[in-house]
Homo-oligomer: A and B are copies of this chain.
Amino acid sequence: MTNGLEDEDEGDRGLLSDRIRNALTDEITGGALPAGAALDEQQLADRFGASRTPVREALRQLAVSGLVEMRARRGVVVARITPERIMEMFETVAEIEAMCVRLATYRMTPLERSHLIELHEASEALVSRGDFDAYDAFNRDFHDAIYHATHNGFLAEQAIAVRTRLNGFRRTQLRQSERLRRSRDEHEAIMQAIAEGDGEMASRRMRAHMLNAATALRRFIETSKLA
């Protein structure tokens, strides 16, 4: 047992390959590295001031999680995902969220319930003043709270993993204040079903909520293309 030194910062603590992996994950999910971008090993090694070895190990890991594609002896590219597949991923996320909220409804503790209510109520202010960034952050917290209220850590991990993976392809931000309002209304409906202890209804409403968001995003993307 060592003395309690926390991993204070992203400094140079920890494994180099892990730091490279985290950095690349951020850059891909953040959109800095667009889909299809070639990831040259030597180039990345130079950029991170390391050798190719840790870079390769990081890329291997990213390949497993699906963020990049490796073609044998033909290099690595940021995963280029078809629109169909993105829709499949959205649907999967919607289904998993629906599953989670059903379980959460039946299992959440009073403390977890009050926490969720608190989060939800606070979101009204964000909608009123149209603070998209803050609402995004709240939204993550809201859904995370539901994941954890399932009291199934494995399921929560899966849900977070899938959602994170989708984030990388959602750099097109939807910033319509009307959608913000509707999002909160849908949350409201979900909260009501939770309050009534009706997991099935909460589940259906969550699914609808997620698919609405996906549809809104898709319409937005298609509209942009026409412009």
Contacts and interface: CB of A to CB of B under 8 A. Distances in A.
A1 interface: no
A108 interface: no
Chain A: interface secondary structure?
helix
A169 to B, nearest CB: 12
A95 B57 contact: no
Interface string A61-93: 101110000001000000000000100110110
Nearest to A200: B200
A27 to B, nearest CB: 18
Residue with the highest number of chain B CB atoms closer than 10 Å, among A57, A99, A154, A158 = A154
Given A57-B56, A61-B64, A99-B99, A154 B88 contact: yes
Nearest to A92: B155
A60 interface: yes
A194 to B, nearest CB: 18
A116 interface: no
B158 A92 contact: yes
A11 interface: no
A14 interface: yes
A162 interface: yes
